[in-house]
Amino acid sequence: MTEYHPALLETVATLPLSPGVYRFVGENERVLYVGKAKSLKKRVASYFHQREGLTPRIQVMLSLARTLEIAVTTTENEALILEANLIKRFRPPYNVLLKDDKSHPYLHLSHHPFPRLALLRHHPRKGAGGRTDPPAGRWFGPFPSVSALRETLKWLQSLFPLRDCEDGQFNQQQRPCLNYQIKLCSGPCCDRISVEHYGQLVRDVCLFLEGKSTTLLEQLQQAMWQAAEERAFEKAAQLRDRIRAITLIQDQRRVNLAENSHLDVISIAGNTLGCAVQLFCIRNGINWGNTSFFPENSNGLSLEEVLEAFVAQYYARRAGEIQTFPPEILVNRVLGQRQWLTAALSDLSGQKVRLHKPTQGEKVRLLNMATLNAEQALQRHQQSRATLEGLLQALGTLLGISTPLRRIEVYDVSHLHGSHPVGSQIVFGPDGWHKREYRHFNLADSALRDDTARMAQMLARRLARLSPPPAAPSPIRDPNNPDPTNPWPDLLLLDGGLGQLHAVLALLQNGPLTGIPVCAIAKGEHREAGQERLFLPQHPEPIVLPGHSPVLFLLQRIRDEAHRFAIGMHKAQRSRTQVRSRLDQIPGIGPQRKRLLLRHFGSVKALQEASMEELLKVTGVSIGLAEKIVQFFQEGS
């Protein structure tokens, strides 16, 4: 039987009976697992008194744990919320994790005489005194996914031609853009529509997004008949087409619920290889779209346990956002901690939230639809993973690597004739891109003469942070699943040729890192896709794969992703240098104010010609700062 660290047993004896959150911590202060408890002493002690009932995953975690940390909370609901927030913060490798942890997309209607309708990820949050930050404009959302919101925004602009350009572009526009020509914008930048008529479009889109479609259709029909009586037949025809389009969209997206229905539908499906969660958002009786989640580290857990972890993490990480919690959440499993979750979500949202599994009616149909989507998403996900694992196995055979390729680290260098050199590290595996582990390297060192030297320095910095593998692996650890607390690359893939390969091999010759396989990939003689060459140690000649090889296509995808990531950082550095202009010489203007000024005026030239009144319209510009800006440009002219 595995012996646990003595410090753990000593800590258990001193734990209180209060509710709270506990953390198992391993080497290098890495948080391994976060859990909640109604009684800390009873819950933590069960890990050591009931060893036979523990899953292999938890047994591995306990064998790696060195210390135990706790946080006592006042109530059980606070413990649940704190647990979800700590999981999001530390991403412990033995907790169920949500891979998609991006901020939620919203529709934002700006505060402007001609408001802009745009997709934003900057969600509004409750600030001091109940105000919102940022306060300007109206927010609609969140939507379940960016793709769902982009589709919504696309047909909204076809119905209500509001502008989507930023204020700086709007202020500098001299003639209507292409959106005006294809009737996706009403042209307010060039006085093609009055403030009153544009305001009516804004009121109409607000009514639609608020679910007041009946009121909107009545107003549009009244306006259409009035235009017909005034013999404004072209305007009447436009209103008629808008009424038809709104009715069609309602028929396609509306579910058989009341017009003011707000609810989320969550279903989980799983098998021995994993699970998938499907989320549908119903707002104002209209389906706003759906998205799929594939929770990590779910092996050995029941679907009910995974679904409980999903609900807690998904909603707790949105605490403080506005318009996020529906009053009703449907699930396709009976959750053991339903009452606990319901009370915690009600506290978070400030209103009563009902979490339940319906047994009849339209809501059961919605739940069945979400379950079917979850099953299909899981099937597609696992088929894609199986295909990818087959390609990785073929790649390993080609390179002479016997162990499974679970983690491939790819490195690239980007610069423009030696200026602003940066390096990139991306990580790829059977689950696809591990974007949380992408890294940039600043290589602006005059001593680095070429890409070979830059590649060597980048790898030296990366390998210096890599802990050596344990001398004796745990007897209960699966050899096919490496220790998640110490990610060890199975392959280093370099974008380059023999020079880069030899430079990295020289680094690996000394120390405990000699066993890492290395491969360099270079473009062909004419730098055309399909002619890539693979350079390997102990191989005098490069390997050239056939142009139709699936392994070659995989390597091209991985290499191109490294290019994209490196070039993005290089362009960002170059852009920052280019806009490091005369504005940086003005006292009191930092990066944020400079960004606001350029976004508002569009260019430094337009800013130079701005008056005091125009400068004071920019958020964060006081009278004193506006006077400094005007004085600076007057003295410099």
518-543 per-position pLDDT tens digit: 999 998 776 677 778 899 988 888 88
Domains 262-379 and 582-636 share a fold: no
* Cα–Cα distance for residue pair 127/132, rounded to 1 Å: 5
* More confidently predicted of 88 and 130: 88
Predicted local distance difference test score (pLDDT) of residue 535: 92
* More confidently predicted of 574 and 520: 520
Predicted local distance difference test score (pLDDT) of residue 402: 87
* More confidently predicted of 399 and 103: 399
Architecture per CATH, 582-636? Orthogonal Bundle (1.10)
* Cα–Cα distance for residue pair 19/35, rounded to 1 Å: 11
Residues in the chain: 637
Cβ–Cβ < 8 Å for 80, 19: no
Question: Which CATH topology does 400-477+486-576 take?
Answer: Nucleotidyltransferase; domain 5 (3.30.420)
Domain 6-90 = CATH 3.40.50.11540: no
HEC sequence for 182-224: CCCCCCHHHCCCCHHHHHHHHHHHHHHHCCCHHHHHHHHHHHH
541-561: pLDDT as tens digits: 888 888 889 999 999 999 999
Predicted local distance difference test score (pLDDT) of residue 555: 93
- DSSP bridge pairs for 132: 126
Predicted local distance difference test score (pLDDT) of residue 477: 42
Residue of 193, 215, 197 whose CA lies nearest to 206: 215
* Cα–Cα distance for residue pair 117/108, rounded to 1 Å: 6
87-109: pLDDT as tens digits: 888 889 888 887 655 667 888 88
| Domain parsing of the chain, residue ranges | 6-90, 262-379, 400-477+486-576, 582-636
Q: In what order do the strands lie in the sheet with 67-72?
A: 31-37, 20-25, 67-72
Element (H, E) at 386: helix 362-399
Integer angstrom CA distances of residue 533 from 401, 498, 516: 18, 10, 20
- CATH number given to 262-379: 3.30.420
50-88: pLDDT as tens digits: 767 777 888 888 888 888 999 999 888 888 888 888 888
Reported as a pLDDT band with limits 50, 70 and 90, residue 48 is confident
Mean pLDDT of 378-404: 92
Reported as a pLDDT band with limits 50, 70 and 90, residue 390 is very high
* Cα–Cα distance for residue pair 356/466, rounded to 1 Å: 46
Predicted local distance difference test score (pLDDT) of residue 321: 57
Contacts 24+ apart (CB under 8 A), 483-488: 483/64, 484/93, 484/94, 485/26, 485/27, 485/28, 485/30, 485/32, 485/64, 485/93, 487/407, 487/427, 487/437, 488/407
DSSP state for residue 74 in the 8-state scheme? S
* Cα–Cα distance for residue pair 516/510, rounded to 1 Å: 12
Reported as a pLDDT band with limits 50, 70 and 90, residue 581 is low
423-476: pLDDT as tens digits: 999 999 998 898 888 999 988 877 787 888 899 889 888 888 776 654 444 433
* Cα–Cα distance for residue pair 111/92, rounded to 1 Å: 41
pTM: 0.76
Record the tokens describing residue 479, joined without a space.
Answer: 């050899």
Please, what is the average pLDDT of the chain?
82
